[in-house]
Every structure is written in structure tokens, then in C-alpha cells.
Amino acid sequence: MKIKFITIIILVATTLGVKACDICGCGVGSYYIGILPEYNKRFIGIRYQHKTLQTHLGPLGERTPLSTDETYQSAEVWGGWNLGNKFRILAFVPYNFNKKVSQSLNGDKNGLGDIAVMGYYNLFNKSGSVGNNLLVQSLWFGAGVKAPTGKYEPSERLAVQESPNNFQLGTASTDFTFNIAYDIRLQDLGLNANVNYKVNTENKYEYRYGNKLTTNVLAYYKFRIAKTFTIAPNAGVLYETSAKDVENNKYEVNVSGGYSLAAVMGAEIAFDKFSFGTNYQNVSAQNLANRRAFAGNRVMVHLSVPF
């Protein structure tokens, strides 16, 4: 019954997101969480992400002499803190490295991104048995805020009318997130699902990025080796969709919004003193900025220390 309840929640959230930017997965925002590293009380770590995007594409998505290759890298300090059994806080402090290359113009932007904090409440955390196997499941609901700590340059928007307003370190807006995290595991075989919906506000330059939905579902299996470490390979899907951006509180930005669907493969490795994780996201379907942008595949790596 509870599994059906969770499935309904995820489907409803997905439907709402489709009816609702930062281009999916790139630029000034990424809210992929996936499987958290193993920890009991607290953890802190570094997470690195590498993404690519082609912009200034032609009306049919073809490359032109104006097409630009953009690379978005971020190294972020992230951490989690369990407050008792019912509350959890996650925080993200990114430092971004943006680069673009075209026939006529090259550019770089490096600096602090937008800091985000998310708080979760544990609705239930239960364990039981199915035959001789242990069944464990948990459900967390949460909300968060993203602060405008990254630099936003309004001149960038004026210079790229036919390209997404993506080459920024931050959005200059205070935004809000709503989150669901569900995990179910039968002995060592598990399923992890995350839903994140981001509500953006208008910044002081009268620009508002479109609201964004990020969902991912990952299946994993934990191999426990010699009681010294655990390796959990995982695979699943990541779906992101964004509404169109709005400027001057009424005009939709044509080259914005869209969706992407990626197949995800990775692994989480846990030792006594630290955890390591990596995943590769293969973008298999997309329609971004009315096909005027094309996202490449992505890589994420993290190193975390529980304490």
C-alpha cells in the first residue's frame, strides 16, 4: 500500500512539472541528488560535475557558424546533518567554472555559485521482513532555499538574444525547492527515488528563470566485501524539465525551457572513514530551448567523509 502511495506522489509531481530556466542540467542550477553517501550523523565532502552544452544552433537544431560550445564545471562543498531520527539538513556551496568557445568569441567565468540549503522531515522509516530477507524503507519530505550568492551579469542576456541565458554564475534571485526522497531495500537490493521542484522568483533585473522539475529513479545492489567496505553499483533514469523563462514580468523567452531524459550508471563505495561515488549520465532524449540548444553527456564524482 505504501509503495503504491509513493508511486502516485512521484507521478503527480512529474505531471505538475511538465505543465510548468536554467537549461536542464547545465548552467546556473543543478539539483540532481541521487543516492546519498552512507552516514549516521553527519557528512561533508566535495562533489564535482562536468557538463557540456551547444548553443546558437539553427532553427532545426543544426550547427551554424555562430554555434557555441559551452562547458559547465562545478566543484561544490556539500554536506548533510541528521538531527535526531526525524530531521535532516543538506547544504551545497558551489564554485563554478564556465567556458564557451565559438568562431567569433571565447569566454570564461569562474566564481562562487548560488548556495542552497534543504531541510527534510522523515515521514516514516520502517523495517520488516519478507520471508528470510530484511525489508527497509524510508520517506523524506523537504523544502529549501537557494540564495543569490553567484554573480549574474544582465549584459550577458542582452548579448545572447538567440541563445539561452545560461552563461551565468548565479541567477540573482532567491528561489525555493520542494523535495521528496524515497528509498526501499530488500536485503541488499534497493530502489532510490528523488523528486525536486524548484520555484524561481524574478531577480532585480526583471528576469525570472522557469520553474524546474528534476526526478531520478535508481536501482542499486550492495556488495559487502570482507566487512571493510561496501560497493553499490546503480543504474536508472534522470528526467528534467523547465518552463520557459520570463522577462519584464510578461514576455516569455523563446530560447529557454525544455526537457531532457538521461540514462544513469554509477557506483557508490563506502569505507569506514570515507565514501566515494561516481555516475555517468547519457542524455538519450531532449528538446531544449526550442531545439536551439543541445546538451551533452555528464559526469559527476564525489568524495565524502562521515563524522
The count of residues in the chain is: 307
Indicate whether 7 pLDDT > 70.
Answer: no
Phi then psi for 13, rounded to 5 degrees? Answer: -60, -40
Q: Which pLDDT score is estimated for 60? A: 82
Return mean pLDDT, the chain.
88
The 10s digit of each residue's pLDDT in 112-149 is: 999 999 999 999 999 888 888 899 999 999 999 999 99
Q: What is the pLDDT of residues 14-60, one digit of tens each?
A: 333 333 346 665 655 556 788 888 888 999 999 999 999 999 898 88
Give Cβ neighbours of residue 153 (< 8 Å, ≥ 6 apart).
Answer: 168
pLDDT at site 32: 75
Compare 157 and 109 and report the one with higher pLDDT: 109
pLDDT digits (tens, 9 = 90+) for 104-114: 888 999 999 99
pLDDT at 302 over 70: yes
Q: Which residues pair with 125 in a beta bridge?
A: 138
Report helix, strand or coil for 289: helix
Check residues 15 and 78 and name the one with the higher pLDDT: 78
Residue type, 100: K
Statement: residue 8 has pLDDT above 90: no
Range 160-179 average pLDDT: 88
The pTM for the full model equals 0.88
pLDDT at residue 188, rounded to an integer: 94
Rounded Cα distance between 251 and 244, Å, is: 10
Question: What's the rounded mean pLDDT across residues 272-293?
Answer: 93
Report the pLDDT value the prediction gives residue 159, as an integer from 0 to 100.
65
Counting beta carbons within 10 angstroms of the beta carbon of residue 218, is it exposed (0 to 12), middle (13 to 18) or buried (19 or more)?
buried
For 173-196, the pLDDT digits (tens) are 999 999 999 999 999 999 999 999
Average pLDDT in the 286-307 region? 94
Which pLDDT score, from 0 to 100, does residue 16 have? 39
Residue type for 58, please? G
Lowest mean pLDDT segment, chosen from 17-21, 174-178, 252-256, 271-275: 17-21
In the chain the domains, ranked by start, together with CATH numbers, are: 2-306 (2.40.128.130)
Residue 223 β-bridge partners = 231
Tens-place pLDDT, residues 197-227: 999 999 999 999 999 999 999 999 999 998 7
> What pLDDT is recorded for position 116?
95
Q: How far apart are the first and last CA of the chain?
A: 36
Q: Is the pLDDT of residue 6 over 50?
A: no
H or E segment and range at residue 9: helix 2-19
The pLDDT > 90 percentage for the chain reads 70
On the question of pLDDT at 304 being above 60, the answer is yes
Q: Is residue 11 over pLDDT 50?
A: no
Q: Specify the DSSP class assigned to residue 290.
A: G
The pLDDT of residue 31 is 66
What pLDDT does 103 receive?
A: 87
CB contact at 8 A, 21 and 30: no
